[in-house]
Structure formats: structure tokens, C-alpha cells
Chain A
Amino acid sequence: MAHAPEHGHHARTLPANLGAPAFVNGWRRRALIVGAVFSALSLLLAVLDHSIDHLLRAWLLGFMICFGFAVGGMALLMVQYLTGGKWGLLVRRPLEAMSRTLPLVFLYFLPIGIFAKKLYLWAAISNPAEALKSGLISAAQAHAIAFKRPMLNLTTMWITTIACFAIWGFYMWRLNSLSLQRDSDTESPVHYWTQKFENLSGPGVVIYSLTLTAGVIYWVMSLDPTWYSSVYGLLFLVGQGYAALALVILTVLTLAKGEPFKTILRVTEQHDLGKLTFAFVMLNIYLAFSQFLIIWSGNLPEEIPWYLDRIRGGWGVVITLDFLFHWLVPFTLLLSRDLKRNRKRLIFVCQWMIFARCWDMFWLIEPNFPDARRNLHFSFGILQYAAVPVALLAFWSAYYFFQLQQRPLVAVNDPHLAEILEPDHAHA
């Protein structure tokens, strides 16, 4: 049955089949092939490097990116329920599909938890005082590890991680099951579902912010147990929005080559999504630069080494490129109104932003380790940063595409459906 809107004189009509177009199958197949090839490459690089250290570091990068898509996508979904708006109709089902990849993301975490001693200094050092005497660690590291022991230990890390994933899992299940129920419920007034999703998403966003902060402090910030920054959780929160939004726009625009998105995607909403992306680009640099300025001005011995580790010894090139990739390029491009309304160009910007996020994560992770600190150098190991994340992302993408195929791509019982099927305005 075709879903006809109730009003709108020249309104378009939704096609009968709201499922993902057939070409998504092809995407999935290609993603699996890329995943297999890059997995083999990762193993080869580990053999050449005679170590799995870099494989694990790169794995952490891949995990953080996929985690950002799954949980960041879910957070964006909740934000959309709270703010409302027509753009929600376009992104809802792709965001739901992103959130349903959470079980795979948890599997990705397992090697990090199992091999934590190879990644985290606080996990490797059981007796900081003795390690200090032996010259394995500095006095600052020994003090930090001993002081933070109640938090930075493997048991607490596992408990926190499992608790966080359980909470996100609950929200994933609830948001996805209610969305399907809403589709089939034609009896209840519009209010009912609007309020139900608001009631779920309001506390959900709060809980997400807190659990995300806990997660990133354990998984990334504690790679250097001496360093701290109170804005770190927010930086990741905005970073997740940056990448998840780029991915969901990329998905919507590429899906629009076929039905049903071909019918419902209007230039007006595409432009709005472009503007939202621009806002995230600005927020991201705002937080990153504020953190830098405050720490740089303070110039305290507890804080400034973290930046020096990431600027000196060749890392200056990486941070400069990070600034260009992460902010200057998307900022400059997204200033253009025409670009935001041009499908092909916006797809390019979204792809660029996902790459920039990976680049930024590389800059955040690798200089934590003694061999790389203030010393960017070539090794077979460093190539793992190209191989492992691509492999993890490829398998994750295949699973994401599979999830996209599981449900209709358009939520039919939505108050904005009639509006979005109206003809596009001449200007926005």
C-alpha cells in the first residue's frame, strides 16, 4: 500500500516499498571484502613488527571510531526526539541502525580489556613504588598510579565498561522497539508518542553524557595516567556528534540514489543538516582550542607535557594537519550555501570529516606511548593505524548496512511526514 499524506495539494507520495534499496547488498559485500583484506594486512604488519603493541593501539582507535558511531548515533537520535523537526524523519532509521551495532562494538572492546596491560601503564604496573625504584616509571607516574588505584584498576575498568554497555544496550533496545511500535500504532494521538520518546530521551541524554565521560576517561585519557582535563568528556561528546552526523548524512545522501529516500529527501532538509554539521565543526574546534589555550597559558608541569608530547619530535606536522583536516577544510567548505545544497559535494565533506576524526584520534592515542612521545617515526607498527581501523570499520559498516536492511527506512507514523512530502521551497 502506498502511504499518501493527508494534505498538500502538490505533495509527493511515498513508494509502496520503504525497505532499503537493493544496492545496499552490494555495499555490504564490498565492506566485507575490504575488512578481510585489511585484516590480513594487519596480521602481516604485526609479523613484520614482531609485536602486537601497535596492533592494539590501532585497535583502540578503530574501537573508538565505531563506538562513536554506535553510541554517538544513539545520542543524536535522542537529541532529535527532544528537539523535534523534519530532519528527524530522514535520519531516524539510519541512526537506529547505527545504534543496533552496539553488540559488535562491545565485541571490539574485548581485546582492549583482555590486553589492557599492554595498553595502560596503570594496568601494567602493580607496584608503583617498586617500579619507580627500578626506573621503569617517573615519580609523577608512580604518584598518579598509586593515588588513582581505587579507580584505575582492571576490576573497576571492567565493571564500569560492562555497566556502561548495559545502559547503552537498554536504550538501544527501548528506542528501537518503541520506534517500530509507533509505526504500527495508528490509534494513539500524536502527543502520546511524542511525549513517550521525550520521556525516554531526556534522561537518556543525561545518562549518555555521564557514561560517555566515564568510558573515555578509562579508555583514552588514562593512557597517560598523570594527565587530566575536565573538558575531556565534552570534547569526545562533541567529537562523536561530529562523526556520527557526518556518517548519517553520508548514509542519507547515498541512499537517496534509490527509493524511498529519493522521494523524501528535499534540498531544504539537506541544507539544514549541512548547517547542523557546520555547528558541530565549530563546537569541536571551540572546545579543542579552549583546552589548548588554558593549558598552554597555565604552562603547569602536570599538564603541559601532554601537549608537548603531541607537538614536538615531528608531531607538529600531525597537529597542523589535524587542525586543517578537522576544522579549516570542513569549516571553509561548509560556509558555502551552494555546497550544503549540492549532494555530491556534501557527500565529499562528510567523508572528509570521518577521515579527520580518525586522524584526530591518532593524534590523541599514539603519543601516549613512550616510544612515540615527542618522537614521530616510521615503523611497520605505525602502519597498523591505517590497516586495523579500516578493517574494524569495514566489518562494522557491513553490520550497519545489514541493520539498515532490517527495517523500513522511513517511519510512517510521524507528524512531520506530510510536511516533508510537500514540494521543496524555492529558498530556505
Chain B
Amino acid sequence: MATKNVPVNDPMIDPATGELRVIAPGHTFKSVTEKISRIVLTSHTPLGWFGGFMVASSVAGILMVAVTWLFLKGTGIWAITQPVAWGFAIINFVWWIGIGHAGTLISAILLLFKQSWRNSINRFAEAMTLFAVVCAGMFPIIHTGRPWLAIYWLFPYPNTMNLWPQFRSPLMWDVFAVSTYAIISLVFWYVGLIPDLGTMRDRSQTRAGQYIYGIFSLGWRGSVRHWMRYESASLLLAGLATPLVLSVHTVISFDFAVAVLAGWHTTIFPPYFVAGAIYSGFAMVITLAVPIRKFYGLEDLITIRHIDNMAKVMLATGFIVAYGYGMEVFMAWYSASKWESFMMWNRMHGPMGWSYSVLIACNIVIPLCTLWFRKLRRNPLFMFLLSLVVNTGMWFERFVIVVTSLYRDYLPSSWGTYRATRWDYATFLGTLGLFTTLFLLFIRFLPMIPMSEIRIMLPQAKIKSEAEPLHEAGD
């Protein structure tokens, strides 16, 4: 509730707008640069980082074992058979791609909307996107069982039978959508890194660091011309990346929606897949941001304002997802179709009804009953736990869509069930390890917060009229 007894003397609240500050007061250009670059340039890697890396890479090792066994034995080790011919492979693919969406939204759309709060989190959110796409992209590749042969068979060739490439198939569109998304995200991330790589080159104390950062900084000198080109490139890439936020998960929703299967064929799928992707993506950003800010003492750069804003985005997208679920249930009745009604009844009360209950609890009941409260939104520990709950719910959403629509279709004689094998679980778990490993490497070797973008947010960076006194500007 609004109250007149608000803490007016809180230094984290801007008295002019009454909003939480994006970064804590008291920073200078120098302090920002030092604080962020020190994490990378230090020769004393924290023990905690090593601990995390060991655990993550061990879990990633499970992926290596699982994939090796898959290549040796074939896809029969997975539970992909009739009636659920896709199973974990497509569930995990969609889940990981969805997680990647927050990075592009933060980098591109929030840039176009002039949301300066994005500056602290866009670098690692974009890195998260790339690693999530890597994890997602693995599933279509390894689910062929023999990827080295798949390169031969999947290579588009001119054919008259419309087998491959079948341009009317959304699976084909997926190839283009996801690869475009990966390329643009990588380029956007790299372009954003260039000024900071220049700073790292200049501050690095080792010869190797100076060479490596120097090569990748592409001769950045920070001249006006460089900045002008950098800004233009950023805006152009943001313009290119913005439709991708919508298009990638829309195309993935088409993988299901253009089919005529009850539970898949519904027009709400495109917007609700996109909203769900952003929902899970922001949850993952929180999952990563909360421990990182605590571990590296970055609470003054990744502030409560960021947590609160991300929670608000989750509230909005979570509501769109809830609206989508609601419309599915309503239309199952309103369609007056017995197939639709049965699908929904079976989804809720059939043998796998428990998965629908988990989905509703994790995606709707828990987050949407708590995110309305400002105090909870601004509690990092709560938001961290909630982000885990939401991503569990989002995984179950894909499980419900894939499995409960397939295992009991139009013909009772073809009904069956679905039970994932230990190799399905191992592969999924392994991708979590791979993702975390890549992320830990990223925060160790690259500046996870864009120094240049934080510096321009400082009050010292604001252009002042001649009449106003100049303040200390750091280095």
C-alpha cells in the first residue's frame, strides 16, 4: 500500500523522482572501472570460484558421458518412442531457448526504450543468452544420434519430393530463426564488449592479457569517432535483435501450433511462448545475479532497483502466461469440441495430471501471489528462490505441452505413456553443468558489467551548462 511515511532519507532513493537509484551514489569513473576490472585482472582467483567451477564442470562431465553413450548406443537410450516421439529433447531445447530471451530483451528492447537500468545487467544477461543457445542447440544436433552423418543428411539439397528442405515446416524455420538469433546475439555481445576490452588491455599487468585483450579490442582508442560508430552499431544491432525476441520463440511455438493436435493447435501459443520465454529468462538472470552480486560485492552496481524491475517484468510476463493458460482452458470448453475438452480434462486429471499441478503452482500460484508485494520483490534471497521455482515451472510447462498432448491422442488404441530414462535426465543435468561452467569462465575472464555503460550513467557524465560548477570526474 502507498504510505506517506516513506524513507525520504534513504540514499538509495532519488529524491527528485522518488524511485530507487540504479546505482549507489558515491561512485566515480575511476571507482567503477577499478571495481569491475579488478574481478578479471586479479591474479588471486577466489576459492569460491574454483569450488563453483569444480562442481559445475563435474556436472558438465555427466553430459560428456551421456552424449558419448548416446553416440555409442544410439537414440534408443532415450525414451523417445511412440506416442511421445520428442520427449526430453524438445522439452529441453525449448526451455533453454526460452531462457536466452531475457538477454536479447535486456540488450536490445530496453536499449531502444532508453531504460538505463539495463546497463548493469545486460552484459551477463547477453552471455547467458549465448550459453543457453549453446545448450539448446545441442539437443536437435545430438538427437540425430549420429551428428557427423546428420551434417550430410541435413545439408539442404535441391529435391523434388519436398522432404528436405521442406520450407512449409516450422522445423525448417527454426533452423533459420535460431541460427540468426545466435549470430546476432554473439555480434551484439561482442560489439558491446569492445570499449571494455580496450580498458582491460590498458589496465592489464601481464603481457598475455595485453595481447589478448588488445587483439579483441580491435584497436579501440575511445575517440569521438569510435564512440559514434559504436553507438550507431549498437542501435542498428538493437533494431535487428528486437524482432528476434519475438520471432524465435514464435517460430518455436509454430512447431506445435501448426499441427492439428488438441493441446498444440491454439492461436494463443505465439504470444504466450514469447512471454513465457521472457519470464524464464528473467528468472535465470535473477538466479545468476543474486549470488554474483553478493559474492563479488557488487550490490552498489546491481542494486535492489534491478531486482525490483526484473521482478516487475516477471510479474507482467507471468500474467500473460497465466492468461494463456486460462484461455486454453476456456477455449477447450468454448470450442464445443470433445477433443479439446478431453485433452484439457486429461491434462488436468489424467495419469500425468500431477505435472499440470506442478506447472500451475510454480508458474502461477507462487509467483503471481507474491510478486505483487513490493517488499518481496526487493528481497534478493526471496527472488533467488522464486527464480528457481519459476524455471522449474517453465520446464514443466514444456513437459505438459509435449507429453500430455501426445500420450493420449485421438485414438485410444494408440494411447501410451512417457517415462524418461536415466540418460534423458543425465543429458539435461549435464547441460545445466555446461551452462554454469561457461558462465563461470565468462565472469572470470571478461568484465561481467559494462564499465563504459555504467560510467555514462554517473552524474559526472551529464553535460552541464557553463554556469554550473564542474565536479570531480575520476580518471
Inter-subunit contact A143/B468 (CB<8 Å): no
Q: Is B331 an interface residue (CB 8 A)?
A: yes
Contact pick for A192, options B3, B250, B323, B327, CB 8 Å: B3
B residues in contact with A298, CB < 8 Å: 258-260, 265
Q: Mark B1-43, 1 if CB is under 8 A from A, else 0.
A: 1111010100001011111000000000000000000000000
Inter-subunit contact A190/B15 (CB<8 Å): yes
A191→B19 CA distance, assembly (Å): 7
Instruction: Apart from A191-B13, A202-B372, A228-B331, list 7 A-B contacts with CB within 8 A.
Output: A9-B467, A151-B334, A194-B18, A229-B331, A231-B267, A290-B271, A416-B17
Inter-subunit contact A84/B19 (CB<8 Å): yes
User: Given the known A-B contacts A230-B268, A286-B270, are A10 and B465 also in contact in the complex, defined by CB atoms under 8 Å?
Assistant: yes
Contact pick for B267, options A10, A294, A302, CB 8 Å: A294
Q: Is B336 an interface residue (CB 8 A)?
A: yes
Q: Mark A213-236, 1 if CB is under 8 A from B, else 0.
A: 100010000000010111111100
A residues in contact with B1, CB < 8 Å: 195, 199
B residues in contact with A202, CB < 8 Å: 315, 372
A286→B253 CA distance, assembly (Å): 13
Q: Is A370 an interface residue (CB 8 A)?
A: no
Q: Is B337 an interface residue (CB 8 A)?
A: yes
Inter-subunit contact B465/A275 (CB<8 Å): no
User: Given the known A-B contacts A199-B1, A234-B268, A275-B112, are A415 and B465 also in contact in the complex, defined by CB atoms under 8 Å?
Assistant: no
Q: Is B254 an interface residue (CB 8 A)?
A: yes
A residues in contact with B15, CB < 8 Å: 190
Closest to A231 in B: B267
- Shortest Cβ distance from B11 into chain A, in angstroms? 15
Q: Is B319 an interface residue (CB 8 A)?
A: yes
Contact pick for B327, options A206, A233, A291, A300, CB 8 Å: A233
Q: Is A295 an interface residue (CB 8 A)?
A: yes
A residues in contact with B134, CB < 8 Å: none
Inter-subunit contact B335/A190 (CB<8 Å): no
Inter-subunit contact B4/A188 (CB<8 Å): yes
- Shortest Cβ distance from A419 into chain B, in angstroms? 9
For window 13-39 of chain A, which residues contact chain B by CB distance below 8 Å?
A: none
Q: Is B257 an interface residue (CB 8 A)?
A: yes
A202→B335 CA distance, assembly (Å): 31
A234→B120 CA distance, assembly (Å): 33
Q: Is A148 an interface residue (CB 8 A)?
A: yes
> What are 8 inter-chain pairs, A to B, with CB distance below 8 A?
A191-B6, A192-B2, A198-B2, A199-B2, A230-B267, A230-B324, A232-B267, A293-B254
User: Given the known A-B contacts A148-B336, A286-B270, A294-B254, are A192 and B265 also in contact in the complex, defined by CB atoms under 8 Å?
Assistant: no
B residues in contact with A147, CB < 8 Å: 336
Q: Is A131 an interface residue (CB 8 A)?
A: no
Closest to B326 in A: A210
Q: Is B174 an interface residue (CB 8 A)?
A: no
Closest to A195 in B: B2
A191→B15 CA distance, assembly (Å): 9
- Shortest Cβ distance from A283 into chain B, in angstroms? 8
For window 254-298 of chain B, which residues contact chain A by CB distance below 8 Å?
A: 254, 257-260, 265-271
A residues in contact with B324, CB < 8 Å: 230
Contact pick for A297, options B6, B258, B270, B319, CB 8 Å: B258
Q: Is A209 an interface residue (CB 8 A)?
A: yes
Q: Is A333 an interface residue (CB 8 A)?
A: no
B residues in contact with A300, CB < 8 Å: 260, 265
Q: Is B328 an interface residue (CB 8 A)?
A: yes
- Identify the 8 closest CB pairs spanning chains A and B, nearest first: A190-B18, A196-B2, A230-B268, A297-B258, A147-B336, A195-B2, A191-B18, A231-B267
Closest to B247 in A: A286
Interface residues on B, range: 35 or more
For window 368-419 of chain A, which residues contact chain B by CB distance below 8 Å?
A: 415-416, 418
- Shortest Cβ distance from B267 into chain A, in angstroms? 4
User: Given the known A-B contacts A9-B467, A206-B319, A298-B265, are A228 and B334 also in contact in the complex, defined by CB atoms under 8 Å?
Assistant: yes
For window 263-300 of chain A, which residues contact chain B by CB distance below 8 Å?
A: 272, 275, 282, 286-287, 290-291, 293-295, 297-300
Q: Is B246 an interface residue (CB 8 A)?
A: yes
User: Given the known A-B contacts A188-B4, A294-B265, are A302 and B16 also in contact in the complex, defined by CB atoms under 8 Å?
Assistant: no
- Interface size for A (C-beta < 8 A) is 53
For window 349-385 of chain B, which residues contact chain A by CB distance below 8 Å?
A: 372, 374
Closest to A202 in B: B372
Q: Is A189 an interface residue (CB 8 A)?
A: yes
Inter-subunit contact A189/B2 (CB<8 Å): no
Q: Mark B297-315, 1 if CB is under 8 A from A, else 0.
A: 0000000000000001001
Inter-subunit contact B334/A190 (CB<8 Å): no
A282→B245 CA distance, assembly (Å): 13
- Shortest Cβ distance from A362 into chain B, in angstroms? 21
A residues in contact with B315, CB < 8 Å: 202
A198→B19 CA distance, assembly (Å): 12
User: Given the known A-B contacts A188-B4, A286-B246, are A230 and B258 also in contact in the complex, defined by CB atoms under 8 Å?
Assistant: no
Inter-subunit contact B266/A290 (CB<8 Å): no
A residues in contact with B319, CB < 8 Å: 206, 209
Q: Is A144 an interface residue (CB 8 A)?
A: yes
Q: Mark B365-409, 1 if CB is under 8 A from A, else 0.
A: 000000010100000000000000000000000000000000000
A residues in contact with B114, CB < 8 Å: 272
User: Given the known A-B contacts A190-B18, A300-B265, A302-B335, are A293 and B258 also in contact in the complex, defined by CB atoms under 8 Å?
Assistant: yes
- Shortest Cβ distance from B327 into chain A, in angstroms? 4
A415→B19 CA distance, assembly (Å): 10
B residues in contact with A415, CB < 8 Å: 16-18
A306→B19 CA distance, assembly (Å): 49
B residues in contact with A188, CB < 8 Å: 4
Contact pick for A230, options B13, B17, B243, B327, CB 8 Å: B327
Inter-subunit contact B337/A302 (CB<8 Å): yes
B residues in contact with A195, CB < 8 Å: 1-3, 6, 374
- Shortest Cβ distance from A5 into chain B, in angstroms? 11
B residues in contact with A82, CB < 8 Å: 312
Closest to A151 in B: B334
Q: Mark B92-103, 1 if CB is under 8 A from A, else 0.
A: 000000000000
Q: Mark A172-205, 1 if CB is under 8 A from B, else 0.
A: 0000000000000000111111111011001100
B residues in contact with A196, CB < 8 Å: 2
Closest to B15 in A: A190
Closest to A190 in B: B18
Contact pick for A294, options B112, B257, B334, B467, CB 8 Å: B257
Inter-subunit contact A230/B331 (CB<8 Å): yes
A22→B254 CA distance, assembly (Å): 54
A206→B330 CA distance, assembly (Å): 17
B residues in contact with A210, CB < 8 Å: 323
Closest to A197 in B: B2
Inter-subunit contact A290/B250 (CB<8 Å): yes
- Shortest Cβ distance from B469 into chain A, in angstroms? 12
Inter-subunit contact A189/B6 (CB<8 Å): yes
Inter-subunit contact B270/A287 (CB<8 Å): yes
B residues in contact with A282, CB < 8 Å: 243
Inter-subunit contact B2/A231 (CB<8 Å): no
